[in-house]
Amino acid sequence: MTACARITCLVLLLVTIVPSMLFSQNDYLRVTAPGNRQLRLAIALPTPSAGSQDPKMAGEISDLLAFDLDMTGIFQVVPQGVPDADLVLKTSYSASAEKLILEYRLVEVQTGREVVAKRYSAARQDLRRTGHTFADDIVFSMTGERSCFTSKLAFVSTATGNKEIYLMDWDGFNVRRLTSNGSINLNPDFSPSGRELIYTSYKRGNPDLYRRELFTGSEARISSSSGINITGAYAPDGNRIALAMSKDGNSEIYLISKEGKQLARLTRNPAIDLSPAWSPDGRYIAFVSDRLGKPQLFVMDADGSTPRRLTTSGAYNVSPRWSPKGDKIAYCRQYGARFQIHLINPDGSEDRQVTFDGSNEHPRWSPDGRFIVFSSKRGGAEALYVMRADGSAQTKISRTGSAQSHPAWSTRF
């Protein structure tokens, strides 16, 4: 397949799932379990609505739904037939070589009431995407908020022997290589629309910043100043990028337009300043600076004024990322030769460690703020894990033996 055809497929994949409501529902229904426990959800084995049984497809659908819904923490997925389930999810499918029709009904066990039901027709190869759309509908019907199951992760992998950028689904499936330039590629970051990705690449020798349009594949080198052009981060407006450059002596944070025009210099300090992270309202930027000796987190106004220290404990704190709701900043603290992920409030209060096993780096929030993806060496080779925002349910999503690191999380497609 040509690259263009691949991209066309990707986009078709994103748009050809046409939902039709089986059950008209204007307001979402809150179903709560007694005693504030998780809702027990039984996922019935998907059955064919027409045609023959396809056990492989049935298994794939139910595994996918179980993963998505269990990860949310709203549900506790229980085996089918457990007598005290609160909800049962019934799915049926009918598939030809090209087409796929999937239908589901979420039923409250006690009353027999249908909470939500939908039918989707899609291309056969969009099975997983359709399943994630189901799961997203179900979370929406229960909470009134969409989740991130149809979003993508960008990450760095050494599968080819050098660091290239890849894309995959949030649960680690559908891995697709994005760069193939044989050099070192680092620090992917999605634009707020999810349609563009910036990253640093050594493909022309120097660590320069590139911007790629994911759907057209067209790419531009947008920052190639002498020295480093690294840790680029899109502003929430999608038009500006904060990044670290060393062209004026040492690593400082600058603001450029997404076309690469320099707009402002935000830090002026003989120390190293880098890794900018925007607050979701675009008013503040958290960053790393070793102006007091070791790398620590600071927060400044988005015009570079009034920098103040954020972290006051820990000798070495890096990689800040602001949550989409603005209430937390995730970052990494060094403990000996290992890193652990912490969460802290933007005012510096409630600093809390959330990973403990192995060395864990590069935290990035899901677009709905429910989850954090990070890279971990707990299992040997570096791999990607997802956890809930409170640190629970740390789950490996990498499904290959090749090292995966440096995730970035797109918005929902």
Partner 1 sequence: MSRNFSGVLTALAMTMLVFSGCAKDQVKPDQGMTQPPAKSGPVAEQPAVKPEIKPAAPVAEPLKEQQVKDDVSAGLARPAAQESDSQSAEAARRALARIYFDFDSYALSQTARDTLYTNAEYLLKKYKGKVRLEGHCDERGSDEYNLALGENRAKTAMNYLITLGVPTEQLSIVSYGKERPLDPGHDENAWAKNRRVEFDVVK
Candidates 121, 71, 62, 68; CA nearest to 96 is 121
Least Å distance, CB 227 to partner 1, is 6
Note whether 274 and 287 are within 8 A (CB).
Answer: yes
72/187 with CB nearer partner 1: 187
Indicate whether 316 belongs to the interface with partner 1 (CB under 8 A): yes
| Interface residue with partner 1, options 51, 59, 144, 182 (CB under 8 A) | 182
| Interface residue with partner 1, options 62, 251, 360, 410 (CB under 8 A) | 251
Alpha helices in 119-189 (DSSP H): 127-143
Q: What's the burial of 402, exposed, middle or buried (CB within 10 Å: 0-12/13-18/19+)? A: middle
Given the rule CB under 8 A, which of 13-21, 100-108, 131-139, 386-394 is the region that contacts partner 1? 13-21
Least Å distance, CB 300 to partner 1, is 17
Scan residues 17-56 and list those touching partner 1 (CB under 8 A).
Answer: 18-21
Note whether 200 and 153 are within 8 A (CB).
Answer: no
Least Å distance, CB 218 to partner 1, is 4
Candidates 382, 387, 389; CA nearest to 406 is 382
Least Å distance, CB 56 to partner 1, is 28
Indicate whether 121 belongs to the interface with partner 1 (CB under 8 A): no
- From residue 288, alpha-carbon distances to 147, 200, 211, 292, 323 in Å are 30, 18, 23, 11, 17
Indicate whether 1 belongs to the interface with partner 1 (CB under 8 A): no
Indicate whether 370 belongs to the interface with partner 1 (CB under 8 A): no
396: phi then psi, degrees, rounded to nearest 5: -70, 130
Note whether 363 and 392 are within 8 A (CB).
Answer: no
Indicate whether 203 belongs to the interface with partner 1 (CB under 8 A): yes
Indicate whether 309 belongs to the interface with partner 1 (CB under 8 A): no
Q: 383 in helix, strand or coil?
A: strand
First to last CA, the chain: 23
Indicate whether 7 belongs to the interface with partner 1 (CB under 8 A): yes
Least Å distance, CB 263 to partner 1, is 21
Look-up: residue for tokens 């120390």? Answer: 271
User: Which helix (H) or strand (E) is 68 found in, with range?
Assistant: helix 55-72
290/327 with CB nearer partner 1: 290
CA distance 6 to 184: 23
Indicate whether 340 belongs to the interface with partner 1 (CB under 8 A): no
Given the rule CB under 8 A, which of 54-62, 91-99, 107-115, 179-187 is the region that contacts partner 1? 179-187
CA distance 212 to 155: 14
Indicate whether 162 belongs to the interface with partner 1 (CB under 8 A): yes
Least Å distance, CB 316 to partner 1, is 8
Indicate whether 277 belongs to the interface with partner 1 (CB under 8 A): no
- Site size toward partner 1 (CB under 8 A) is 61
- From residue 29, alpha-carbon distances to 74, 94, 179, 181 in Å are 14, 28, 44, 50
Least Å distance, CB 308 to partner 1, is 20
Indicate whether 250 belongs to the interface with partner 1 (CB under 8 A): yes
**In the complex, which residues of this chain contact partner 1 (CB under 8 A)?**
2-4, 7-8, 11-12, 14-16, 18-21, 162-163, 179-184, 186-187, 201-207, 213, 215-219, 227-228, 230-231, 244, 246, 250-251, 272, 274-275, 288, 290, 294-295, 316, 318-319, 332, 334, 337, 339, 361, 406
